[in-house]
Homo-oligomer: A and B are copies of this chain.
Amino acid sequence: MREKLNSYFSYVFEDELLDEIVQVGTYKKLRENELLVDLGDQIKGVPLLLNGAIKIVREDKKGEEMLLYFLERGDTCASSFASALSSGKCGIRAIAEKESEVIFLPVEKLDEWLVKYKSWRNFVIDSYNVRLNEMMETVDTLAFMKMDERLYKYLTDKAQIMRETSLNTTHQDIAYDLHTSRVVVSRLLKQLENEGKIKLYRNKIEILEF
């Protein structure tokens, strides 16, 4: 575990903190599409993402979904701090987009480490800021962009997160993430294909232009 942690976090955390994490953290490997956090879940620990990609989704009462953002290596789920400390509910769903490795940190340590480690304070504050900025970008997307732009942004963002130039997905799945209908997605994808930006296959979309 120490090695896996080092691969990214050795530049983020002090050595003593890394040691503590190894001692109290629990390692978990997530399968593709594994559910990490569900809507009303009580958070058991704060996840540190070692590698992979995790999708964070918001859902309303009627069960309608909306993608908020993706987590990458080095990220943590800031709103789990919330639920962890105020022991409230989470309000989001987290799903592994591909095989991923995480370390869960026990809730009790969070406050203790804020006092003890400057690198932990920086990490926590930084995580919140990154997350707030992501949320602002999500708002920008919804408020200022039309569906065709949103779709193209979605495809290129996701390709980057997944480190692939083509995505294995269906039109219906995209429609869920963007909170629109399958027909609309098919229509706009076809349009993007005609513009030469992507190429469509069954269950697969190749991105030609970033």
Contact = CB atoms under 8 A, between A and B. Distances in A.
Interface stretch (A3-11, A114-122, A193-201): A114-122
A77 to B, nearest CB: 11
A111 interface: yes
Contacts of A64: 143-144
Interface stretch (A12-20, A23-31, A133-141, A164-172): A133-141
A132 B92 CA distance: 12
A128 interface: yes
A179 interface: yes
Contacts of A111: 118, 121
Nearest to A131: B132
Interface of A: 58, 60, 62, 64, 66, 68, 78-79, 81-82, 85-86, 91-92, 111, 114-115, 118, 121-122, 124-126, 128-129, 131-133, 135-136, 138-140, 142-144, 179
